Structure 1
Amino acid sequence: MKRLSFLLAFLFAANTWAATLPQTTYIIALGIAQDGGYPHMGCQKNCCKMAWANQKMRKQVVSLALVDPVNKKWWLFEATPDIKQQLQHFKSQTNNVYPYLPEGIFITHAHIGHYTGLMEFGREVMATNSLKVYLLPKLKAFLEQNGPWSQLVKLNNINIIGLTADQPIVVSNNTVTAFTVPHRDEFSETAGFKIITPTKKYLFIPDIDKWSKWNKNIITEVKNVDVAMVDATFYSNTELANRAIAEVPHPLVAETIDLFKNETPAVKRKIYFIHFNHTNPLLWSAQAQQALQNKGFNLVKQDQVFY
């Protein structure tokens, strides 16, 4: 009897989650962590020990789902190493009313947390047919010319759709515009995305070196959208004890906060930090999260819905 009651409670909770989803286009955060996820491979620090011991604390690599409930279509942003779990989670949390595979996948750049999930679409796993993958030119060339990714193209598992920076494309009743940002571009350029739905404008920049290196003004860009999901890899420059943080440049959360310190509360509230390294206390410390919110800023939570 207890087992039946638990099962009914679980099913009710799952259906309630799906039942509360909006009937207009929305975005779900399927992951919020940096490329290595949380906990991080090889990490024996207290920040990871907590997550190894408590599965509920674990977070997946940064990824978004753009969902059109009217036409029952959806698009994925980033093909992460956690893509198998993320697609299954999306399927269950949306009550199986959408196709298992997205209409297409938008990818920012060729660092492992953002594109290596594409391997799951090859002949060894799903052997998909012409799954659309939207890429800027250098990333497109990288996948076409280098194995094992080139085999996905050769076997028509994926159909690469070339993007032009700053040129919007239409997907259902939404527009998506890729733009370039400065980052460690070893194999490709790095994109950010502006997503415009019928009700909201979003900015998605999970990776960038420094705001000062960008040819656009981040304050202006934030003011022009409703929600800005921005790079929060590191909170401070003391997080990497055994590596020079300059080797992996990102705008520190503390720097972004300082940059926006003179802006209005309405502007600050638009900023949602995302792409947290396992060392960033915003990922696992309730105290740090509350302190950030007290300053007027937000952070993306896994499974958070935006509409």
Structure 2
Amino acid sequence: MKIRVLGSGAGGGFPQWNCNCHNCSRIRRGTMRSSPRTQSSIAVSSNGVDWVLFNASPDIRSQLEAFSDVHPRSGIRDSGIRAVILIDSQIDHTTGLLMLRESTVPLQIYCSEMVRADLTSGFPVFTMLGHYCRVEHHAVPLDGGAFEIPGIDDLRFCTHALKSKAPPYSPHRHDPHEGDNIGVVIEQASTGRRVYYAPGLGEIEPHVERAMAEADCLLVDGTFWREDEMAHAGIVHKLAREMGHLPQSGSGGMIETLRAHEHARKILIHINNTNPILDEESPERRELETHGVEVAYDGMAITV
């Protein structure tokens, strides 16, 4: 199984266009050992030709242009992207769908019913695309059930609901529903190898723990280092868990959680611009390395 990290940053990317935090200011000045990051998205394939896109960030055009495996191979209009799976309906995961409107065939989009509802109401991307390439929506199960995608050989996908909030624009922002956010197990049938992908993970529920225990590679939420990171950076007084993200440090944090999965390759993705792990020379980065935890970067190639 081949995985390409198209974008590894959280909403706003790194550096964020209007941010002067400790990290953003230093990378602009060239005084920080790090690399810029676009907003979170990955592509997955079993054969290196036919790919499933996970999320479509506002940076999707530059991400796909930097990835030659999905470039047109035949005819005037073509792409290696066969389908899109949406983890949630957040703006940083769905706005890029509008950049795919030139498709000559309907976009095959797999997402929950709650995400479909958001994208036809509060942020009517599906409705807008109906005037261009159209959307064919496929509902995904929320109980861990498996499904296959036509044209994507040897891979199957198991999706389950995660505890989360809908985006601020959603009509049910303050009334969470099952399916506002999902985690995905990607399994290669011929090898039995599994990847667990959850870029937004605020709580380790029993079904999440089981999925992580059975995975060979964990590609999970790396948004914040500390619970009060946004307040510590002087930005907003919201805690990480209130924003739907499990911080890496502290009791019950991601480092502690990943410690129980020594068998798996562990990679953090969806990293916020305030997170000190972006600094490759920081103590926090060294602590991750001590625990065998990697930090995703744009263009990262993973083979499972």
> TM bucket by the smaller chain?
0.7 to 0.9
What amino acid sits opposite 1:276 in the alignment? I
1:248 aligns with 2:243: yes
**CA displacement, residues 44-103 of structure 1 (integer Å, 9 cap, x when unaligned):** 123112333459821111111112336x21111111011001111112x67865953510
Q: Equivalent of 1:76, from 47, 53, 63?
A: 53
TM-score of the superposed pair, with normalisation by structure 1: 0.79
Which residue number in structure 1 is paired with residue 219 of structure 2?
Answer: 229
What amino acid sits opposite 1:185 in the alignment? A
What amino acid sits opposite 1:281 in the alignment? P
CA distance in 2, matches of 1:148, 1:257: 36
**CA displacement, residues 173-205 of structure 1 (integer Å, 9 cap, x when unaligned):** 100122110111243611111101234200000
1:305 aligns with 2:301: yes
CA distance in 1, matches of 2:6, 2:288: 22
Q: Equivalent of 2:120, from 130, 139, 144?
A: 144
Q: Equivalent of 2:199, from 201, 206, 213?
A: 206
Q: Equivalent of 2:147, from 146, 165, 169?
A: 169
Larger radius of gyration: 1
Contact (CA 8 Å) 2:8, 2:41: kept in 1 or not?
A: yes
CA distance in 2, matches of 1:217, 1:194: 10
What amino acid sits opposite 2:180 in the alignment? E
TM-score of the superposed pair, with normalisation by structure 2: 0.80
SS in 2 for 1:286: coil
CA distance in 2, matches of 1:130, 1:96: 17
1:181 aligns with 2:181: no
Which residue number in structure 1 is paired with residue 281 of structure 2?
Answer: 286
Alignment of 1:1-307 (within 5 A): 25-53=1-29, 57-69=35-47, 72-91=49-68, 99-122=78-101, 126=102, 128-146=104-122, 147-153=124-130, 155-165=132-142, 166-171=144-149, 172-186=153-167, 187=170, 189-197=180-188, 198-199=190-191, 200-211=193-204, 214-218=205-209, 220-240=210-230, 241-246=234-239, 247-254=242-249, 255-261=253-259, 263=260, 266-267=262-263, 269-287=264-282, 288-307=284-303
Contact (CA 8 Å) 1:121, 1:158: kept in 2 or not?
A: no
Seq. identity, %: 19
What amino acid sits opposite 1:244 in the alignment? H
Q: 1:243 to 1:276 in 2, by over 3 A?
A: same
Q: How far is 1:156 from its partner? A: 4.3
Q: 1:237 to 1:144 in 2, by over 3 A?
A: closer
Corresponding pairs, count:
272
Q: 1:154 to 1:167 in 2, by over 3 A?
A: farther
**5+ long unaligned stretches in structure 2:** 171-178
Q: How far is 1:41 from its partner? A: 2.6
Q: How far is 1:30 from its partner? A: 1.0
CA distance in 2, matches of 1:56, 1:272: 17
Q: 1:131 to 1:236 in 2, by over 3 A?
A: same
**CA displacement, residues 98-121 of structure 1 (integer Å, 9 cap, x when unaligned):** 953510110111111111111113
Q: 1:117 to 1:48 in 2, by over 3 A?
A: same
Which residue number in structure 2 is paired with residue 7 of structure 1?
Answer: none
What amino acid sits opposite 1:225 in the alignment? A
* Larger relative helix fraction: 1
